[in-house]
Structure 1
Amino acid sequence: MDKIKEFAQWVMDAKKITVLTGAGMSTESGIPDFRSENGIYAQEENVEYYISEYYFKNHPVDFWHKFKRIFSLKLMGNFSPNQGHLFLKWLEDIGKKVVILTQNIDGLHEKAGSTNVVELHGTLQTATCPKCQAKYDLAFVNSHDVPRCVRTLKNGKVCNEILKPDVVLFGGMVQRFEEALQAADGSDLLIAMGTSLEVAPVNFIPSYVAAEVPHIRKVLVNKTPTKMNDVFDIVLHAGIGETVAKVQQYIADAR
């Protein structure tokens, strides 16, 4: 059977679908990924050092200057979900239970309307005060060169602490990982989309499923080969938008 048709049939058969998404999920929205020829690593030097826990703690002002430039933070609110994001929302609309485990920090799955998104690496959409835990949105962060907390404390003074972005910085802990494993473990179908599967511990999820729950079907959609291709039952090296358009059309015709 054609791989696209088989993929579509597996989607139709599944009640619970877990989707692992990486930076390639958002490149069709205009957001650069990290590891491609034109990605963030190619354009910036020492990325992992400058957006690390260490650098924020020791050089918070310069951290924000570099963080905003690296992630084009002024533009982040202007990006829109692409066909891949909308496809995952459509799966919910046709009655599938979909859990999205995303490595992305752009918030586009939520913008698309997906209701069950586990942001393993946090989000660019907000920042939090390390001192008093007040939370601020992207508009506030973008309106200040170095965003500081403006909350008035009990002593009447303004907090004024430099905010910390709500993303997992290098050297920080991935969020909600046990929840992610449980979601994958309890699914009928695991789909990895737009991820090089290079980053630990998130790249452990497909191999864990293959070893511990081998009956779960596994599909990889990524433009380039990964070191974990052999873990998946179906591998499609193609653009996400064009792939899901074909899958969606096949499902729509079959319903």
Structure 2
Amino acid sequence: MEAIATTLKKAKRIAVLTGAGVSTASGIPDFRSAGGIWEQDRSREYYMSSDYFHEHPVDFWKKYKDIFQIKLVGNYQPNEVHAFLHELEDNGKEVPIITQNVDGLHEKAGNNRIIEYHGSLTTATCPTCGTQYGFSHVMEHETPRCTTTYGSHLCNDILKPDIVLFGDPITQHDKAEAIIDLADVLLVLGTSLFVMPFNFLPDYAKYQRNLPTILINREPTAKDELFDYVVHDNLTQVIQKIKQSM
């Protein structure tokens, strides 16, 4: 813990990768670790696909709101891990965050630079005209539609949530690598590093940029050997110990 604390204390720019484990202390279920939601029902990947949205948009929205417990999103609040990353910024460090999470909690916590690698649950966009709608509009309608009017014509297309569905392209990877290019250290928190191409980012940091690398996750990952420091433990408790050492 002291070595990790020293590494973070010396760094001016800390690139952070975060996954579902960062949000579990806020009450949000872990989707991919043992016993997570995706493990419980593999068919969810089929229903949360771009193909299913285009073929069955009304049923898609019903399942989407159920699977992601969308009605609860507005009630979740940042936890101690989110607060720690914000505190690093308050201490004068640059702490860009590249997150797999779609819950918007890093933004709620006040972090200045966030790349939502897989998008966000808090907004949805019209596939036809590109108008974006906020969380309240999504929740007001069982199947949210576009209300934009062109002259006398109402768009009325069914909105697509602003998350990366299975089958959608990843558009943020180059931006994520650009952040790592400028970093002094890579800090990876609460992710199984299972999903591609997100899980290539630690390889990039280690082999292309030769950065010091830190992984803190509840369980081992297939990428553990890439990291200089690895901790398998409760993330909140580990962060508390690191803060004490800083």
Please give the range of the TM-score, normalised by the shorter of the 2 chains: over 0.9
1:230-254 deviation digits (Å, cap 9, x = unpaired): 0000000111211111111222xxx
Q: Does 1:187 align with 2:183?
A: yes
Instruction: Give the structure-2-normalised TM-score.
Output: 0.97
Structure-2 separation of matches of 1:82 and 1:105: 15
Q: One-letter code of the match for 2:129?
A: C
Q: Does 1:200 align with 2:187?
A: no
Structure-1 separation of matches of 2:160 and 2:40: 24
1:67-115 deviation digits (Å, cap 9, x = unpaired): 0000000001100001111100000000000110001100000000001
Asked if structure 1 preserves the Cα contact closer than 8 Å seen for 2:218 and 2:232, the reply is yes
Q: SS where residue 182 of structure 1 aligns?
A: helix
Q: Does 1:61 align with 2:58?
A: yes
Superposed, 1:1-255 pairs within 5 Å as 4-154=1-151, 156-214=152-210, 216-251=211-246
Large movers: runs of 4+ above 3 Å: 42-45
User: Residues 157 and 147 (structure 1 numbering): CA distance in 2 closer, same or farther, change over 3 Å?
Assistant: same
Q: How many residues are paired up?
A: 246
Q: SS where residue 157 of structure 2 aligns?
A: coil
1:169-226 deviation digits (Å, cap 9, x = unpaired): 0011123211101111221110110000000001001012211122x11000000000
Asked if structure 1 preserves the Cα contact closer than 8 Å seen for 2:33 and 2:192, the reply is no
Q: One-letter code of the match for 2:115?
A: V
Structure-2 separation of matches of 1:152 and 1:16: 45
Asked if structure 2 preserves the Cα contact closer than 8 Å seen for 1:122 and 1:175, the reply is no
Structure-2 separation of matches of 1:39 and 1:132: 36
- Mind listing any 5+ residue stretches in structure 1 that lack a counterpart? none
Asked if structure 2 preserves the Cα contact closer than 8 Å seen for 1:196 and 1:222, the reply is yes
Instruction: Give the structure-1-normalised TM-score.
Output: 0.94
Structure-2 separation of matches of 1:45 and 1:243: 31
Shift of 1:45: 4.2
Asked if structure 2 preserves the Cα contact closer than 8 Å seen for 1:24 and 1:222, the reply is yes
Once the two structures are overlaid, the 10-residue window that deviates more, 235-244 or 31-40, is 31-40
| RMSD, aligned α-carbons | 1.0
